[in-house]
Homo-oligomer: A and B are copies of this chain.
């Protein structure tokens, strides 16, 4: 890529960005678009135009708002998970800014005043020597072999590494405190009173699973056991429930259509009709409201019967067990219960809305086997994806990759591992994406020209990859510079302007939606989508770190990416996205580990690059790898336990009010098993235990 096409691409994407920001500024001020640009605000029952006079009317109002919002505001709007994602963005930003302050003034002059490129070209053609771009001149490539200037580059690697350690350490501490604060609030959260029990052994023939769960936990926790809810196979009940919901939805829609028709020239209105056959196209024509009401009347007793039989006969070998104090639940979730590992596995309960009900009864061996299989498939995908990539040229590759992502999505997003909660699924998927992206985009592009020989080198001599990376990375600097720029200008522009949701919303509202609920569904914003967002940011972290010393010019681009990213993400968290669960920052250890992985790729690459400069002192870089490992280990031992488990200190905080155990319990009842009126809970709990045992302890 020569300098003019680089500048062209940069300018084009900048123009697109400016246009999109202007579009956003204009569109977001129209009240009719509020559900697209302020859904989170609306859902929290606030007025999006509040304080509009002061700032939101100005084009940069949203920027000021994003800056002034405190972390507490972010937690209130998007939960701890969103706050943790912003901490990630600001941490990387801090790493890049502090690194850049030293690296740019130090390395750019050293590179610019050397002559390696001219010399190497000079042998061939004196004239061509002028053709090197400014980017190439300002990079490590222009420093001569064995030059003492390389000392500055070695020290820079150390500087970047230690800045990263420091920032990561502080961030981990900060997130740890965020999590502790969120967990030790005095609000009653159902999941803090419950544990998830899996691998319940098959009970003796005269006992139901519910009986055996009840008696087991009553014996082991005589003072604190409250109730147990056995997981059931709800497929049938759910089917009937969804059918009823569908009919209810149709009635509401038909009523709205009917009401509208009255407004027209026919005051008595036209009752909507539909056909009962295939797709509503053939069969008998019926009055929709009447027909659906009849169907519901028919289905309700069926549902009730199915609920009863589900609770009685479809008990699965998993349960949610409730305790009458948070400390008891926290302690129980961390205590080994059975002598054998494959019986009575007890873990923390996920939030009710986070739970994947159908995954719970999967048995421990099945879970392990599935996990192994999934990781094997991911491994194959990650490795053999590189082969088709090499067949096409570089930029096409990225496009192809994006095209093929849906297939990849099937592989990495599937929930077949028996993971009990969505937040966990997201973490697992995010990890797989990370490896995929790093291997295929970064390594794949860098060494694509000679991938097969590269594979051979890796198999023959694993450390050889370092030298290979060192060899090929410097050449791709310009490409990655424009890649980062494209990413943030176009990507963030689209993100901020929300053009696609805007168009869909207006189309749906105009032609499809009749009832309030339908309109609400049309603008429902969804959540931040950490599973694809984090790995894609991680790729930029890896790229920018790896080039930070090779071509320090990339640092300003990285800074722009994460500064803009932080700003826009904060705006979207405050105004747009609605969290679909709260894991209290459980994502952070995952992010932390991957930033360290990126740092280590960087360190290994730099060893290769400096070795290729035939610089004797490059060995000075070797200790960085073990230092990174020790840092990762130290952080893990120090902070991780409080993420994996609930510390008793936290669980023993006083509660604001006496917990309503009935409400806690019914929060976990799946919709399709919920009786029509909540007061009937006690009547319905057939698979659930009724009595609270308070036998004295010995």
Q: Which A positions have Cβ atoms within 8 angstroms of B? A: 176, 180, 219-220, 223-224, 325, 327, 330-332, 334-342, 368, 637-642, 645-650, 652, 654-655, 658, 697-698
Contacts and interface: CB of A to CB of B under 8 A. Distances in A.
Contacts of A223: 223, 697
Given A223-B223, A223-B697, A337 B638 contact: no
Nearest to A330: B335
Contact of A341 (B338, B637, B655): B637
Nearest to A343: B649
10 contacts: A220-B652, A223-B697, A224-B697, A327-B697, A330-B335, A336-B641, A337-B648, A338-B649, A340-B639, A341-B642
A524 B352 CA distance: 63
A174 B410 CA distance: 44
- What are the nearest 10 A-B pairs in CB distance? A336-B645, A341-B638, A331-B335, A334-B335, A337-B648, A336-B647, A339-B647, A220-B648, A180-B339, A339-B642
A176 B224 CA distance: 29
Given A331-B331, A654-B698, A646 B336 contact: yes
Contacts of A340: 176, 638-639, 642
B642 A336 contact: yes
Contacts of A641: 336, 341
Contact of A342 (B224, B331, B638, B640): B638
A87 B647 CA distance: 39
A339 B650 contact: yes
B697 A337 contact: no
Contact of A337 (B332, B336, B649): B649
Nearest to A327: B220
Nearest to A341: B638
Contact of A339 (B176, B327, B339, B697): B176
Contacts of A654: 698
Given A180-B339, A325-B697, A336-B641, 14 more contacts: A176-B340, A220-B648, A220-B649, A223-B223, A224-B697, A331-B331, A336-B648, A338-B649, A339-B649, A340-B638, A341-B637, A341-B641, A341-B642, A654-B698
A123 to B, nearest CB: 35
Contacts of A645: 335-336
Nearest to A655: B698
A626 B296 CA distance: 57
Contacts of A655: 698
B337 A647 contact: yes
A649 B219 CA distance: 9
A396 to B, nearest CB: 38
A245 to B, nearest CB: 40
Contacts of A638: 340-342
Name which of A338, A339, A342 has the most chain B CB atoms within 10 A of its CB. A339
A648 B335 contact: yes
A336 B649 CA distance: 9
Contacts of A649: 220, 337-339
A180 B341 CA distance: 13
A646 B336 CA distance: 7
Contacts of A176: 339-340
Nearest to A344: B649
A87 B330 CA distance: 38
A337 B647 CA distance: 5
A654 B219 CA distance: 11
A327 B697 CA distance: 10
Contacts of A658: 698
A224 B340 CA distance: 26
Contacts of A334: 334-336
A366 to B, nearest CB: 14
Nearest to A177: B339
A197 to B, nearest CB: 12
A211 to B, nearest CB: 17
A255 to B, nearest CB: 49
Given A219-B652, A697-B325, A647 B342 contact: no
Contacts of A341: 637-642
A338 B645 CA distance: 10
B325 A698 contact: yes
A646 B220 CA distance: 13
Nearest to A183: B339
Contacts of A652: 219-220
A330 B339 CA distance: 13
A76 to B, nearest CB: 22
A457 to B, nearest CB: 14
A626 B541 CA distance: 34
A654 B637 CA distance: 36
A338 B650 CA distance: 8
Contact of A338 (B338, B339, B647, B698): B647
A332 B638 CA distance: 20
A652 B325 CA distance: 20
A470 B648 CA distance: 55
A182 to B, nearest CB: 12
A224 B646 CA distance: 20
Contacts of A697: 223-224, 325, 327
Nearest to A173: B340
A362 to B, nearest CB: 16
A224 B223 CA distance: 11
Name which of A180, A637, A645, A697 has the most chain B CB atoms within 10 A of its CB. A697
Contacts of A646: 336
Nearest to A365: B634
Contacts of A640: 341
A662 B650 CA distance: 31
Contacts of A219: 652
Nearest to A639: B341
A330 B176 CA distance: 27
A324 to B, nearest CB: 8
A342 B330 CA distance: 20
A265 B639 CA distance: 79
Nearest to A636: B341
Name which of A219, A340, A642 has the most chain B CB atoms within 10 A of its CB. A340
A640 to B, nearest CB: 8
Contacts of A224: 697
Contacts of A342: 638
Nearest to A630: B372
Name which of A180, A334, A341, A645 has the most chain B CB atoms within 10 A of its CB. A341
Contacts of A698: 325, 654-655, 658
